Every structure is written in structure tokens, then in C-alpha cells.
């Protein structure tokens, strides 16, 4: 992937945020931000699921960025229990928008802890068109702020997620299905755990299918 390993640093509220960015060659390309899993459990922007999601966006002609939250690897600052990380995500979105002023769509995606930051971000940024939330944890994080959820998107989860009982995902699905004017699609990956071990192809296929379907309608 051209320039994939080019490291950049963007300004955040607590200093520099380490990132990887690749710009689409397509004029007016959509943009995407991909968010990492929990920093205190070894999560980084180089997590396998984060990388695969980032790559799916790139292969579908997005300009895409992924970041290390504050305190992770070369990013300044320390872990801030989600509030600072939300600020980091907002700063990354600001940056990629300025780099791509003619963008046609704006997407946000996150994996595990990154998915709650993703969903909080879409509540604050009306320019975001779609989201992809991978392995959300509604048994740990309160999703009641999605009232209503402002945009349509995709939720992907493993049927054998050892960290999130499926009933919690289904409760979230029921809540979002009652909201008007949005369509949040829930895709379960059979025999997949929270980290999609051995099921990476099924995960990326789910992402790719949704991207191709939704890009075509804009």
C-alpha cells in the first residue's frame, strides 16, 4: 500500500497524536477515521482489526486515517477514560477534513473501546454520514446517549464474543430498530470471538459489502 507506513503527527488537545494516513487518488473521495481498542489492554492503531478496517476503506477509494490515542506509543498525554480519547478522535476528524476539503462522504469506525468513542463522536459531528461499529460492549458502556442515533450504520459482532453476552447486543439492536429515519444493520460473524480470531476474512467481507452498498447510493 503506497505510503501506508508513513507516520504523521497531528495536533491534539494534549499534544501530538501519532497517526497513519493515506490519501485517495480519487477526486472528491470520501474520508474515514478508524479508532483503536482499549489502550490499557494493549490496544493500538496497529491492532489487526483496526488495520484491516483501515485497509478496507483504502481499497474502496477512501482517504483514511487511524490514530493512537493519547499516551499510546508516540502520542502525547495519558489515558483519560474516554473523554480525552473522544477529543483525540475529534482532532483527527478535523485534520482529515482539512486535508480533503472536497470530500464526498465522512465515515467513522471503531473496534471495541474504539466503537464507543466512534458512537460518541457521531453524536457531536453532524457531517458524519455513516459509521461502522465493531465489537461494541453495551454490557460495559452506556449507549443511552444514542437517543436518537443520528445516522445509519453497521454494527458487527462475533456470535461467540467472550466479553459481551449476545443479549446485550440484541437489546441495543432492539433499541436502535425502534428509531425512525435511520437503518442500523447488525451483522453477526458465526463462530467469531471478540477479536475475530480465525474469522478475519468474514469480518472484512462484511465491511466491504456494506461499504460497496452504501457508497453507491450517494
Does a structural domain hold residue 69?
A: yes
Per-residue pLDDT tens over the stretch 180-212: 999 999 999 999 999 999 999 999 999 999 999
Q: Is the pLDDT of residue 3 over 90?
A: no
Per-residue pLDDT tens over the stretch 24-79: 999 999 999 999 999 999 999 999 999 999 999 999 999 999 999 999 999 999 99
Does a structural domain hold residue 18?
A: yes
Locate 140 and state its grid cell.
Answer: 460495559
Best CA proximity match to 142, nearest among 167, 120, 174: 120
| CA 118 from centroid of its chain's CA atoms | 5
3-state secondary structure of 28: coil
Strand partners, 11: 16
Residue corresponding to grid cell 491534539: 12
The CATH number of the domain where 66 resides is what?
3.40.50.1820
Does a structural domain hold residue 148?
A: yes
Q: Is the pLDDT of residue 160 over 70?
A: yes
Phi, psi of 78 (to 5 degrees): -135, 160
3-state secondary structure of 153: strand
Residue corresponding to grid cell 501506508: 4
As a whole-number percent, the residues of the chain with pLDDT over 70 amount to: 96
Locate 218 and state its grid cell.
Answer: 450517494
Confidence at 2, pLDDT banded by 50, 70, 90: very low
Does a structural domain hold residue 185?
A: yes
Contact predicate 60/32, CB 8 Å: no
Give the count of beta carbons closer than 10 Å to the beta carbon of residue 142. 8
CA distance 175 to 173: 5
Does a structural domain hold residue 1?
A: no
Question: Would residue 158 be called left, alpha or beta, if left means φ above 0 and alpha means ψ between -120 and 50 degrees?
Answer: beta
Contacts (Cβ under 8 Å, ≥6 apart) of 82: 113, 116, 117, 120
Q: Domain limits at 161?
A: 7-215
Element (H, E) at 67: strand 63-67
Contact predicate 98/21, CB 8 Å: no
Does a structural domain hold residue 155?
A: yes
The number of distinct structural domains making up the chain is: 1
Does a structural domain hold residue 2?
A: no
Per-residue pLDDT tens over the stretch 10-19: 999 999 999 9
What does pLDDT average to over the chain? 95
pLDDT on residue 1: 40
Confidence at 214, pLDDT banded by 50, 70, 90: confident
CA distance 24 to 41: 32
Amino acid at each position: 500500500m503506497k505510503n501506508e507506513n508513513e507516520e504523521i503527527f497531528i495536533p491534539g488537545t494534549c499534544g501530538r497524536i501519532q497517526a497513519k494516513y493515506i490519501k485517495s487518488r480519487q477526486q472528491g473521495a470520501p474520508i474515514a477515521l478508524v479508532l483503536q481498542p482499549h489502550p490499557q489492554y494493549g490496544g493500538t492503531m496497529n491492532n489487526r482489526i483496526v488495520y484491516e478496517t483501515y485497509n478496507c476503506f483504502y481499497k474502496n477509494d477512501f482517504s483514511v486515517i487511524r490514530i493512537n490515542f493519547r499516551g499510546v506509543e508516540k502520542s502525547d498525554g495519558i489515558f483519560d477514560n474516554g473523554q480525552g480519547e473522544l477529543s483525540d478522535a475529534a482532532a483527527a476528524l478535523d485534520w482529515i477534513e482539512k486535508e480533503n476539503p472536497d470530500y464526498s462522504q465522512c465515515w467513522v469506525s471503531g473496534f471495541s473501546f474504539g466503537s464507543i468513542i466512534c458512537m460518541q463522536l457521531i453524536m457531536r459531528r453532524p457531517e458524519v454520514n455513516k459509521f461502522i461499529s465493531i465489537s461494541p460492549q453495551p454490557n460495559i458502556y452506556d449507549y443511552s446517549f444514542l437517543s436518537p442515533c443520528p445516522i445509519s450504520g453497521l454494527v458487527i459482532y462475533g456470535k461467540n464474543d467472550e466479553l459481551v453476552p449476545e443479549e446485550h447486543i440484541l437489546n441495543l439492536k432492539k433499541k436502535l430498530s425502534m428509531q425512525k429515519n435511520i437503518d442500523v444493520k447488525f451483522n453477526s460473524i458465526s463462530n467469531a470471538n471478540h477479536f475475530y480470531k480465525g474469522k478475519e476474512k468474514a469480518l472484512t467481507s462484511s465491511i466491504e459489502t456494506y461499504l460497496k452498498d452504501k457508497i453507491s447510493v450517494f
